[in-house]
């Protein structure tokens, strides 16, 4: 099984960045990896609780 992780611009639905991982990859950590790659291109982020919780724990 594979998983698609994506960051999407909610105004025009363009994919800003993505990754494809296996079923064993931690979703929150992969989301954080994507956010790190695009942090200079985003103003606001909406996410699920897992990613937000990990971001606060890491800061």
Q: What pLDDT is recorded for position 45?
A: 82
Q: What pLDDT is recorded for position 4?
A: 96
CA distance 36 to 50: 16
19: β partners: 5
Mean pLDDT by 10 residues, the chain (59 residues): 94 96 93 91 82 70
DSSP the chain: -EEEEEEE-TTT--EEEEEEEETTS-HHHHHHHHHHHHGGG-S-----HHHHHHHHHH-
Which two structure tokens, joined as six digits, stand for 43?
A: 């103003």
Tokens 């897992």 sit on residue: 50
């Amino acid at each position: 099984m594979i998983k698609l992780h994506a960051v999407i611009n909610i105004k025009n639905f363009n994919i800003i960045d993505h990754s494809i991982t296996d079923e064993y990859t931690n979703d929150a950590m992969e989301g954080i990896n994507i956010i790190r790659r695009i942090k200079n291109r985003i103003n606001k982020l909406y996410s699920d609780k897992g990613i937000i919780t990990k971001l606060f724990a890491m800061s």
